[in-house]
Structure 1
Amino acid sequence: MTLLSDLPLRDDLRGQVPYGAPQLHVPVALNVNENTHPIPEPVAVDIVRALAQAVQTVNRYPDREFTELRERLAGYLGHGLTANNIWAGNGSNEVLQQVLQAFGGPGRSLLGFVPTYSMYSILASGTGTEWVAGDRDADYRLSPDTAVAWVTRTNPDLVFLCSPNNPTGTPLSLDTIAAVYEASTGIVVVDEAYAEFGPVGTPSALSLLPGRERLLVSRTMSKAFAFAGARVGYLAADPAVTDALRLVRLPYHLSALTQAAANAALAHTDEMLAMVDDIRGQRDRLVQELTRLGYAPHESGSNFVLFGGVADPHATFEALLAEGILIRDIGIPGHLRVTAGTRAETTAFVEALERLGRATGAEAE
């Protein structure tokens, strides 16, 4: 049987491993930060109706410019944005990959601040872009001084800022974003995949876009819109950026079915986002319960909680899995991560963890 090592693979890809989280069929899956709430039935009916109409036209290529979707996304984001400011793809990962295809590549570098979303380094590798791992401050925060010091030291062509950060949930201030932009001469991307789960009134990096043509703000419909299976991500930026991304996108990259489903969902924005308050409540409940059990949860502005004080993360992960509860071991010593699910899912997790006994590990630094 032919092995991967037998193929003429690119040298810089040898030894790499693909991104992946366990895909197991369990009663309570809280490992990949999905929105575990189902789409409201009236909304689902409208989406199915839109898909049925789109199917009748799939003998033709879809709208290459996905015009209606860009208009709807601009309307959702506000901040004076128009369709010319919007780009979309099959999940925010594809959008970020297109950014690296346009602005990264051999001889160019991408700065991120670890621990952060693991796909950043994988996307960098796949596009031949050098990955530079910067350090964070205590408790996984990122101050303007620390971020700027790394930008000044490494002079990257791109900087990816995760806000709030995945996998730690740590909020990121607009001051840090603005400071990074001023210190950099390249592209600065703020990944706001979990922005809707922050406290009400939390400012978005979208407010920083005017006058900053190298600033890009990435979003997704996977989380707050419960649309992970539909694969719709997008970004807002200066119109010149969207022109650059047209140079690297594949023809007709958003199918007619994807566009129809996303447009139908955005027509029901209020209903789709009605579950966000409940998810915030379950996240805060996780923080309280984990604290009660002796663990050390970190501040989170997302739909998940990273918690320390876990003596043996692998053993705890396996013990919970044995009870049908799947969370995430992300490789940070003494830590595990759990998604805020429905009330019933959160209860099942807390009760199972309590049966394992109170935390005995050292608290997170």
Structure 2
Amino acid sequence: MNGHSQRKPLRARPEVEQLKGYSAPLEGRRGLLRLDFNENTLGPSPKVAEAIRAFPAEQIAIYPEYDGLREALIANLESSPAGLACALTTAHVGVFNGVDAAIHAVIHAYGSAGDTLLTTSPTFGYYGPCAGMQGMAIEAVPHELPGFVFPMEAIGAALLRTPRILMLCNPNNPTGTRLPAAQVLALAAAAPQTLVVVDELYEAFTGDSVLPSIDFRAVPNLLVLRSLAKTAGLAGLRIGFALGHPEVVDRVGRVTGPYDVNSLAVTAAMAALGDQPYTDAYVAEVLRARHWLVTEMRRERASCHVAGGNYLLLWPRRSSATVEAELRAAGILVRSMAGKPQIDGSLRISIGTTEQMQLFWQAYQAIDSEP
């Protein structure tokens, strides 16, 4: 090669070389019915689109400013029917480039090589790679069968070994497993040397949030993650929040860049937080659509599991890979759970509007009919 010997590229840290990264098939989804990633299937409030269209072009050249965003989130939470257990300040709120970035920052800030990240199985697939980047050991406790019940006793026993981080997805993706706020608080109180992180991306569909019950002064080892992706329809703009004791929020913020959240995301978030009735109406429609679909599935004796969240699990009669591919050919995307413990062979179906679920169910019945 032009007289030069071929050299191998530099190797990354051993933890990264051994890592199997989290990947998701994100290309080629436009124009299809997206029931694969638990997104809002209608789009954000019209007020979000108006705010983005009115965004001044000159501000594109300016680094983003976050004035008012944390206050808007706090006001939104305070005005919810459940309210808050204690007053929050802006120091209680961290802003991140999506909850994925918040998860990465939490583990980067608190996890070291040899530490343990405790979680359940199956759960959101990004926790593992983030822990692996830090060289952490991962202890994943299976849900109890039947019904994918939260393994309270086993998690409690594991906490006696003082893992560095306990990561809870509540309700859990993909099983929908729900954990009442009182039990979350009990786990955090029983393990003061463990950072308990509650990923509440799907809380709006169940009302199981810990925020109306918690005083972070009394439980400083609890951190709550929230997003505007699943309900308010801002998945494409990437914005998430972490709420907790100011010292914990500060430490997590130290391992992120100073301008990780872009100006358009801030503008959209402000508009979305200011139009809670739109989000509430979308959530209500999803719950109606879920009830309709589950009723139809049970009438046809389909093998399914539904609990919390805007999704459910469905076990086809035919090969799940075949059914997934044929649904895609029909213009409908669903997510295969192939290889995941306890749910291998199932499909995760995101719930949209009633009309969208009727389209899905009609296509599914034609594809997964008895031979």
Residue 261 to residue 191, structure 1, CA distance change in 2 (3 Å): same
Aligned to 1:160, what secondary structure does the other structure show? strand
Distance 2:328 2:264 in 1: 36
Distance 2:162 2:357 in 1: 43
Gaps of 5+ in 2: 79-83
Matched, 1:62 2:70: no
Q: CA deviation at 1:157?
A: 0.4
Matched, 1:38 2:43: yes
* Equivalent of 2:329 in 300, 322, 326: 322
Q: CA deviation at 1:12?
A: 2.3
* Equivalent of 2:353 in 329, 335, 342: 342
Gaps of 5+ in 1: 361-365
Q: CA deviation at 1:100?
A: 0.9
Q: CA deviation at 1:121?
A: 0.3
Q: Deviations over 1:46-85 (max 9, x none)?
A: 3322x22xx423433333xx23111111111221322221
Aligned to 1:275, what secondary structure does the other structure show? helix
Matching residue's letter, 2:150: L
Matching residue's letter, 2:114: G
Residue 11 to residue 255, structure 1, CA distance change in 2 (3 Å): same
Residue 115 to residue 121, structure 1, CA distance change in 2 (3 Å): same
Q: Deviations over 1:242-269 (max 9, x none)?
A: 2212321212222223222211222222
Matching residue's letter, 1:280: L
Q: For residue 142 of structure 1, what is the aligned residue in structure 2? A: 150
Give the 5 Å matches for 1:210-221. 210=215, 211-221=218-228
* Equivalent of 1:174 in 167, 181, 205: 181
Q: Deviations over 1:224-246 (max 9, x none)?
A: 11110110110211111122123
Aligned to 2:267, what secondary structure does the other structure show? helix
Name which of structure 1's ranges 117-126 and 132-141 shifts more when overlaid on structure 2.
Answer: 132-141
Structure-1-length-normalised TM-score = 0.88
Matched, 1:188 2:196: yes
Name which of structure 1's ranges 254-263 and 180-189 shifts more when overlaid on structure 2.
Answer: 254-263
* Equivalent of 1:21 in 24, 35, 60: 24
Q: CA deviation at 1:8?
A: 0.8
Q: For residue 88 of structure 1, what is the aligned residue in structure 2? A: 95
Distance 2:53 2:278 in 1: 16
Q: Residues 141 and 172 of structure 1 are in contact (CA less than 8 Å); yes or no, is this contact kept in structure 2?
A: no
Distance 2:351 2:20 in 1: 28
Q: Residues 293 and 359 of structure 1 are in contact (CA less than 8 Å); yes or no, is this contact kept in structure 2?
A: no
Q: CA deviation at 1:357?
A: 4.2
Q: Deviations over 1:158-216 (max 9, x none)?
A: 00011000011121222431232133221000110011111xxx341113431100001
Q: Alignment RMSD, CA only?
A: 2.3
Aligned to 1:111, what secondary structure does the other structure show? strand
Q: For residue 81 of structure 2, what is the aligned residue in structure 1? A: none
Distance 2:332 2:262 in 1: 35
Residue 135 to residue 179, structure 1, CA distance change in 2 (3 Å): farther
Aligned to 1:189, what secondary structure does the other structure show? strand
Q: Residues 41 and 353 of structure 2 are in contact (CA less than 8 Å); yes or no, is this contact kept in structure 1?
A: yes
Name which of structure 1's ranges 232-241 and 37-46 shifts more when overlaid on structure 2.
Answer: 37-46
* Equivalent of 1:110 in 91, 107, 117: 117
Instruction: Give structure 1 regions of 4+ aligned residues with deviation exceeding 6 angstroms.
Output: none
Distance 1:129 1:106 in 2: 5
Residue 7 to residue 342, structure 1, CA distance change in 2 (3 Å): farther
Q: CA deviation at 1:17?
A: 3.5
Name which of structure 1's ranges 80-89 and 18-27 shifts more when overlaid on structure 2.
Answer: 18-27
**Identity over the aligned pairs, expressed in percent?**
30
Aligned to 1:140, what secondary structure does the other structure show? coil
